[in-house]
Chains A and B, each alone.
Chain A
Amino acid sequence: MTQRALEVLAVGPLALIQDLGRPGFAHLGVSASGAADRSAFRLGARLLAQNLTHAAIEVLFGGLQVRAGVDVTIALTGAPAPATIDGRAVGHAAPLVLRADQTLRLGTPSAGLRTYVSVRGGIDVPATLGSRSTDTLSALGPKPLRPGDRLPVGPAPPDFPNVDLAPVRSPTSAGVVVTAHWGPRADWLADSDDLARGRWTVSSRSDRIGVRLDGVVLARDARRRGDLPSEGVVRGAIQLPPSGQPVIFLADHPVTGGYPVVAVVDDDGIDRLAQAVPGQRVALRLAAYPGKI
């Protein structure tokens, strides 16, 4: 095969095409979607000296194997999955050359959840509503990767990579502490201190829609009964369903919801939650906004 493409030989639990998503269509009921860990995606693009419109492969918990049709330059960011090219170990957060007919294999990451395989030129599948991202809630965008898929690679961008290695910290295996700001329905909590005091673990039912937290049940204020009329929700929103087990929305969150949003995690926190594995501990730090809303 001498196509300018990557051939998928094997897939672990899940592998999806992602870029920075399709913001601006919420009024049509379309969520922005995009890479769950946006800073890892951005780093991959910077290492390859290309802009953020170039789509990458988001690999859930390793396992991806791809073979190059022609020489390509790639980079691995996010969760550090042990990686080999034709059996030779290669590094993380560095531009790597994958020559024609060589195979990249990702093992299982020892920390973190999602590894981004970026390629110079980007994965050049057709875009839907301006983005190549797969939205797992609405099924918009490309289908999840399967063995046998041929992923076209776009033309190389004009600038050349000039960084050998980005010394970024791995996702942590210890507890994840994220910063959140009080949300629109913070007054639905029986005791606002419960949010900062709460200790949870990531549920195995978490996915790109949201991280579900098992642990402390957050009680609602006794005066707040029933649900809210549907209202818009944002990525990072901490939503309180009747069960009292919070959900923190990630990239494929629904556009509207009827459960109260008590706080919203900041961008850095969302990226780190996107790397939290089932069973990992999560705690929240609440901060007030400077100034008034």
Chain B
Amino acid sequence: MITAQQLRPCGPHAILVQLDDLAAVLALAATLRERPTPDLADVVDVVPGGETVLVTIAGTDLAGLRSALLRLNPVLPATNETAPEIEIPVHYDGPDLAVVAALAGLTVAEIVTAHTTIPWRAGFGGFAPGFAYLVDGDERLRLPRRSSPRTRVPAGSVALGGGYCAVYPRSSPGGWHLIGHTDLAVWDTDRDPAALIVSGATVRFRDVNAP
């Protein structure tokens, strides 16, 4: 249940809900995504963050939104129910593989095994279209960012940083460790769905060179 203390004002069209952890974020975001009650019909965007969910409406009936949120019972769907599962084929040829192995105290082969064995879950996005911060996964792969970012990270790069994993949807500056790349387009405006990885989805990586 959400309490009034968790609701923070965010302008004439939004309320920011403060939560305890990412599990609570995913539960609320998944619940709201369904627009489960008529009093949520005016909701335009549900934006999960690290510990928050921003809910925006088209109109200005914030009192109505507040009541609707306080009446909700957010439930996280079990991962084998409605959350989509996405497999991403990866060429493990990233320039930072050796650095990552050293940081984690593993061999490069063990890094690849760790990355592909335990599935990840998409937490939240927002950095760029199609970008999702992936959580869970093997805890030995939760690494800090690079001390200096790159000005250009190629599209499709698979990276670790800030405790997360992610696939860069297009070329951009980036401060995470690059362990490989995928030829799969995680963002494609001509495709439905445009974004391959959405909040709540399970993501498994596969080594294209594995026997």
Binding site for B on A (CB under 8 A): 23-30, 32, 128-129, 138, 140, 181-185, 228-234, 236-237, 254-256, 261, 264-267, 289, 291-293
Selected A-B contacts with CB under 8 Å, 12 pairs = A23-B56, A27-B47, A28-B129, A29-B128, A29-B132, A138-B128, A181-B11, A230-B49, A231-B47, A232-B126, A233-B54, A293-B66
> What is the CA–CA distance of A291 and B29 in the complex, to the nearest angstrom?
25
> What is the CA–CA distance of A293 and B189 in the complex, to the nearest angstrom?
37
- The reply to whether A256 and B45 contact each other, CB–CB distance below 8 Å, is no
Q: Cβ of B203: which chain A residues have Cβ within 8 Å of it?
A: none
Q: Cβ of B45: which chain A residues have Cβ within 8 Å of it?
A: 23-27, 32, 232
**In this complex, what residue of A is CB-closest to B131?**
A29
**In this complex, what residue of A is CB-closest to B56?**
A234
> What is the CA–CA distance of A292 and B65 in the complex, to the nearest angstrom?
12
Q: Cβ of B52: which chain A residues have Cβ within 8 Å of it?
A: 229, 231-232
- The reply to whether A293 and B62 contact each other, CB–CB distance below 8 Å, is yes
Q: Which of B9, B48, B51, B128 contacts A289 (CB 8 A)?
A: B9
Given contacts A232-B53, A232-B126, list 8 more A-B pairs with CB under 8 A: A28-B125, A182-B9, A230-B124, A231-B52, A232-B45, A234-B11, A255-B125, A293-B15
Q: Cβ of A232: which chain B residues have Cβ within 8 Å of it?
A: 14, 16, 45, 47-49, 52-54, 56, 126
**In this complex, what residue of B is CB-closest to A270?**
B11
- Supposing A24-B45, A27-B198, A232-B49 touch, asked if A256 and B14 sit within 8 A by C-beta, the answer is no
- The reply to whether B11 and A291 contact each other, CB–CB distance below 8 Å, is no
A93 to chain B, nearest CB (A): 26
Binding site for A on B (CB under 8 A): 4, 7-16, 18, 29, 33, 44-54, 56, 58, 62-63, 66, 124-133, 189, 194-195, 198-199
**In this complex, what residue of A is CB-closest to B12?**
A266
- The reply to whether A234 and B14 contact each other, CB–CB distance below 8 Å, is yes
Q: Cβ of A236: which chain B residues have Cβ within 8 Å of it?
A: 11
- The reply to whether A29 and B126 contact each other, CB–CB distance below 8 Å, is yes
> What is the CA–CA distance of A256 and B44 in the complex, to the nearest angstrom?
16
> What is the CA–CA distance of A184 and B125 in the complex, to the nearest angstrom?
20
Q: Which of B13, B66, B129, B133 contacts A234 (CB 8 A)?
A: B13
- The reply to whether A27 and B11 contact each other, CB–CB distance below 8 Å, is no
- The reply to whether A184 and B189 contact each other, CB–CB distance below 8 Å, is no
A26 to chain B, nearest CB (A): 4
- The reply to whether B49 and A229 contact each other, CB–CB distance below 8 Å, is yes
- Supposing A23-B45, A24-B45, A293-B62 touch, asked if A264 and B11 sit within 8 A by C-beta, the answer is yes
Q: Cβ of A29: which chain B residues have Cβ within 8 Å of it?
A: 125-132, 195
> What is the CA–CA distance of A157 and B66 in the complex, to the nearest angstrom?
39
- The reply to whether B124 and A291 contact each other, CB–CB distance below 8 Å, is no
> What is the CA–CA distance of A266 and B128 in the complex, to the nearest angstrom?
26
- The reply to whether A138 and B129 contact each other, CB–CB distance below 8 Å, is yes
- The reply to whether B8 and A27 contact each other, CB–CB distance below 8 Å, is no
**In this complex, what residue of B is CB-closest to A288?**
B9
> What is the CA–CA distance of A237 and B8 in the complex, to the nearest angstrom?
13
Q: Which of B9, B58, B127 contacts A184 (CB 8 A)?
A: B9
Q: Cβ of B33: which chain A residues have Cβ within 8 Å of it?
A: 27
> What is the CA–CA distance of A236 and B12 in the complex, to the nearest angstrom?
10
- The reply to whether B9 and A231 contact each other, CB–CB distance below 8 Å, is no
Q: Cβ of B199: which chain A residues have Cβ within 8 Å of it?
A: 27
Q: Cβ of A292: which chain B residues have Cβ within 8 Å of it?
A: 4, 66
> What is the CA–CA distance of A27 and B56 in the complex, to the nearest angstrom?
11
Q: Which of B14, B126, B131 has the most CB of A within 10 A?
A: B126
- Supposing A29-B195, A232-B52 touch, asked if A184 and B8 sit within 8 A by C-beta, the answer is yes
- The reply to whether B8 and A293 contact each other, CB–CB distance below 8 Å, is yes
A253 to chain B, nearest CB (A): 11
Q: Cβ of A254: which chain B residues have Cβ within 8 Å of it?
A: 126-127
- The reply to whether B10 and A261 contact each other, CB–CB distance below 8 Å, is yes
> What is the CA–CA distance of A27 and B122 in the complex, to the nearest angstrom?
11
- The reply to whether A27 and B10 contact each other, CB–CB distance below 8 Å, is no
B114 to chain A, nearest CB (A): 25
> What is the CA–CA distance of A164 and B53 in the complex, to the nearest angstrom?
46
Q: Cβ of A264: which chain B residues have Cβ within 8 Å of it?
A: 9-12, 14
